[in-house]
Amino acid sequence: MEQRINIRLIIISIVAVMATAVSVTFVYYELFQEQVKKDLRIEAGLIGENSITEYEDNENIRITLIAGDGSVLFDNDADAQTLSNHKDRPEVADAFDKGSGESVRKSDTMNMRTFYYAMLLPNGNVLRVAKEARSMMNMFLSVFPVIILVVAAIIFLCVMIGYYLTQKLLQPIKEMAENLDYASEVSVYRELSPFVDRIREQHEDILNAVRSRQDFTANVSHELKTPLTAISGYAGLIENEMVGEDKQVRFAGEIRKNADRLISLINDIIRLSELDHNDCVGEFTQIDLYEVARDRYELLRDNGRDKNIEVSLEGESCIITSSRAMMIELIDNLVQNGIRYNVPNGRVTIQVHKSENQAVLTVADTGIGIPKEEQDRVFERFYRVDKSRSRETGGTGLGLAIVKHIVEIHDGSIELESEPGKGTRIVVKL
């Protein structure tokens, strides 16, 4: 990357330097040419025919006097006799024609040009002055060493700037890569923020996922251990014949109860893991939520009756796209909780109705309620407000986590209102 930045900077700089050098030479040469021509005109004016001989040995300027027929009368640079007729030289022809003329021709000397100015004298002869001056190429070549020096300096600067820029660009990324845990403390420039924020979020998500997996594993182990320890204890006593016949049935019952708890726990764990991986979520079809609730109602009402709780159902038909199995799980979990955490002679009301294109399922009870500070946490895996009551009533601490998962799969929402001593109301919108 650094190399690429350097190469680009160098190319841009060289192009810029060359373009500047060429255009400056071009403009400057135009001015220089004008100046040479102007000088020649002034000098021609000063010389006049009479003082020509004074320039015999002047090597800076060539003076030629041409007669009306084009023959050369005098030339301070060559023998006038040997020179050919000058009438057809453009500047001479112009002078005869219009009084003055000028032209520029390539010199015999490399990279030089000769500037001519000719003027008609009162006596009919033409006086021509000529001077050699640098050509544009000559001028450009003379600044070439300077250009090379500037380019070398620029290449050095580009390498330095390229290094500095890449360091500056990469510094936050390097810092973050070295320690992603402190990514939020690394200060980044504006353009990098969206990328860095995304990385930070993902890193946080990964950390949270790892943390909750670790918590979950620890919780699962703990939850499994309790009933297994009880089973092992009861079985050990029976094995060592320490249980009288009268108590054997009770002990066998305890073993069965704990085994049932293990089964419920394992079922719930498997279900959560399936939902996590979107496995076994059932086929999504058009189903009537009210009809599903009515199907479950009989069984739930019997469950409630066993505990002196009155379960009622009201509502209207609500068609949703969902899996029937998941809706059964959702309703059962919420109503079972309503029954489990209720008071004697309490009530649980199931309500299904439509609201703004959504199906709304409300399960309200007149039970013990949930303290405000624990209301958010009850959806966490294995979180229980009253542990012993949950265990006694066959709870696993996973019911509401499963409910929340099912609602998320449907892109729905779940709200919980509860007041200790008065009851709880859970509203699910799908």
Q: Nearer to ligand ADP by C-beta: 6 or 349?
A: 349
Q: Which 410-429 positions form the footprint of ligand ADP (CB under 6 A)?
A: 424
Q: Alpha helix locations (H) across 283-323?
A: 289-306
Give the dihedral sign, CA 334/340/342/346. Answer: positive
Q: How far apart are CA 185 and CA 52, in angstroms?
A: 88
When the beta carbons of 180 and 220 are compared against ligand ADP, the nearer one is 220
Q: Could you tell me which of 130, 115, 126, 116 has the C-alpha nearest to residue 59? A: 130
- CB-CB contact of 357 with 318 (8 Å): no
Q: Sheet holding 126-134: strands in order across?
A: 72-75, 62-66, 126-134, 112-120, 100-106
Other Cβ atoms closer than 10 A to 299: 12
Looking up tokens 């038909």 gives 317
Say whether residue 362 binds ligand ADP (CB under 6 A).
no
Among 227, 346, 397, 412, binds ligand ADP (CB under 6 A): 397
Residue 271 in contact with ligand ADP, rule: CB under 6 A: no
Q: Is 219 in the site for ligand ADP (CB under 6 A)?
A: no
Binding-site member from 188, 360, 370, 428 for ligand ADP (CB under 6 A): 370
Minimum CB–partner distance for residue 257 and ligand ADP (Å):
15
Spatial CA neighbour of 334 closest among 269, 270, 282, 289: 289
Closest separation between CB of residue 422 and ligand ADP, Å? 10
Stretch that binds ligand ADP, among 119-127, 177-185, 320-328, 364-372 (CB under 6 A): 364-372
Report, in Å, the least distance between residue 186 CB and ligand ADP.
39
Q: Are 135 and 152 in contact (CB under 8 A)?
A: no
Residue whose CB is less far from ligand ADP, 13 or 336: 336
For residue 363, count CB atoms less than 10 angstroms from its CB and return exposed for 0-12, middle for 13-18, buried for 19 or more. Answer: buried
Task: Please provide the size of the chain in residues.
Answer: 430
Stretch that binds ligand ADP, among 25-33, 226-234, 317-325, 385-393 (CB under 6 A): 385-393
CB 381 within 8 A of CB 272: yes
Interface with ligand ADP includes 274 (CB under 6 A)? no
Residue 349 in contact with ligand ADP, rule: CB under 6 A: no
Q: Is 46 exposed, middle or buried (0-12, 13-18, 19+ CB in 10 A)?
A: exposed
Q: Give the interface segment with ligand ADP, choosing from 94-102, 149-157, 271-279, 360-368 (CB under 6 A).
A: 360-368
* Dihedral Cα 163, 166, 167, 169, nearest 10 deg: 160
The region of 85-93, 138-146, 226-234, 365-373 touching ligand ADP under the rule CB under 6 A is: 365-373
Site membership for ligand ADP, residue 390 (CB under 6 A): yes
Residue with tokens 């030339």: 75
Q: Is residue 365 within the footprint of ligand ADP (CB under 6 A)?
A: yes
Region binding ligand ADP by CB under 6 A among candidate stretches 139-147, 213-221, 227-235, 376-384: 376-384
- Cα separation, 85 vs 64, whole angstroms: 12
User: 284 or 383: whose CB is closer to ligand ADP?
Assistant: 383
For tokens 């959560």, what's the residue?
Answer: 272
Which stretches of 46-162 are assigned E, i.e. beta strand? 62-66, 72-75, 100-106, 112-120, 126-134
User: Among 209-217, 254-262, 283-291, 388-396, which window interacts with ligand ADP (CB under 6 A)?
Assistant: 388-396
Exactly one of 154, 368, 407, 428 binds ligand ADP (CB under 6 A); which one? 368
Contact between 227 and ligand ADP by CB under 6 A: the answer reads no
Report the nearest approach of ligand ADP to the CB of residue 208 (Å): 20
Which CB, 296 or 340, lies closer to ligand ADP?
340
CB nearer to ligand ADP: pick between 100 and 375: 375
Are the C-beta atoms of 265 and 396 separated by less than 8 Å?
yes
Least distance between ligand ADP and beta carbon 288 (Å): 25
Residues 325-344 that bind ligand ADP (CB under 6 A): 337-338, 340-341
Distance of CA 39 to the CA centre of its chain: 66
Choose one: 197-205, 279-287, 316-324, 399-407; the region binding ligand ADP (CB under 6 A): 399-407
Tell me the helices (H) and strands (E) count for the chain, helix number first: 9, 12
310 binds ligand ADP (CB under 6 A): no
Task: Check residue 304 for interaction with ligand ADP (CB under 6 A).
Answer: no
Which residues of the chain form contacts with ligand ADP (CB under 6 A)?
A: 337-338, 340-341, 365, 367-370, 378, 383-386, 390, 395-401, 424
